[in-house]
Amino acid sequence: MPTASLRLATWNVNSIRTRLDRVVDWLARAEVDVLAMQETKCSDGQFPALPFLERGYEVAHVGFNQWNGVAIASRVGLDDVEVGFEGQPTWSSKPDVAATAEARALGATCGGIRVWSLYVPNGRAVGDPHYEYKLKWLAALRDTAAGWLRDDPAAQIALVGDWNIAPKDEDVWSTDYYAGATHVSEPERRAFDAIVDAQFADVVRPFTPGPGVYTYWDYTQLRFQKGRGMRIDFILASPALARRVTGAQIVRDERKGKAPSDHAPVLIDVSRM
């Protein structure tokens, strides 16, 4: 029988082939209906779809090489799959190589929700060309997402993933440590806030308030053990979807154990329509 709610999660898995057993095991234990993944770090042909299919999940993935890559696994339907969003900027790190759209955005309709798995560019350093690319990428996402809501104010949309932005000071373990760095700069925070202002609410924060609540801990210098993390993974929901959210979690325990991702899963429970 169908449950009273749908569970939607996002997880930067930091290589799906390395983390496959952990991911499919957690899907079953957490009873996740839809999982958006980032940093799969493989091409489409290398993505290990079979273990998901065996567990009743359809899978969509876009990846071109060992970098980036996003996926969606769903056991409540996977329709209208779309690679990239309208206006998504292109990138090339080499002047002699044509710029192309990277594998950073994948959309699909799952259980009536339009889910976008997003891996926002890192930015590298303030002033770096990749930083400017990041700001353009976020601006394009904001404009396109705002257009979706203009066309259908009742749309059920979830923008989920690794945003590579800590939008508030409380989202980093030390503001002094990150002073002058990416992820906390004012232009990046304004870009994130612009998407919130376009009526996409952070639906996890109300259930996980306070400083010291993070989703990412670097592997070096015992950052996880020392509680030195960042909150950079978010689920932003359209107004119609936000009204249906009944709970949310940052699953910190999945950062523990053998060969974890450096990110923890983030999930929400959504009442069924």
Domain ranges across the chain: 5-271
Does 39 show up as a binding residue in the annotation? Answer: yes
pTM over 0.85: yes
Q: Which of 57, 119, 214, 216 is catalytic?
A: 119
Query: Which residues lie closer than 8 Å to 20 by C-beta, 6 or more apart?
Result: 48, 51
**Quick one: 5-271 is in which CATH superfamily?**
Endonuclease/exonuclease/phosphatase (3.60.10.10)
CB-CB contact of 174 with 214 (8 Å): no
Does 254 show up as a binding residue in the annotation? Answer: no
Q: Is the pLDDT at 13 greater than 80, yes or no?
A: yes
Q: How many whole angstroms separate alpha carbon 132 and alpha carbon 130? A: 5
Q: How many whole angstroms separate alpha carbon 12 and alpha carbon 61? A: 14
Q: Is the pLDDT at 208 greater than 60, yes or no?
A: yes
In this structure, what is the dihedral angle of CA atoms 10, 107, 202, 28, given to the nearest 10 degrees?
-30
Q: How many Å from the N-terminal Cα to the C-terminal Cα in the chain?
A: 15
Mean pLDDT of 214-229: 97
Closest residue by Cα to residue 32 from 13, 17, 18: 13
The two structure tokens encoding residue 251: 């699953």
Q: Which of 57, 171, 233, 263 is catalytic?
A: 263
Q: Which of 61, 131, 162, 171 is catalytic?
A: 162
CB-CB contact of 12 with 233 (8 Å): yes
CB-CB contact of 190 with 198 (8 Å): no
Q: How many whole angstroms separate alpha carbon 191 and alpha carbon 155? A: 22
Give the pLDDT confidence of 69-107 residue by residue, as tens digits: 999 999 999 999 999 999 999 999 888 889 999 999 999
Residue 61 catalytic? no
Residue 119 catalytic? yes
Give the pLDDT confidence of 99-145 residue by residue, as tens digits: 999 999 999 999 999 999 999 999 999 999 999 999 999 999 999 99
Angle (nearest 5°) at CA 185 between 179 and 190 = 155
Residue 253 catalytic? no
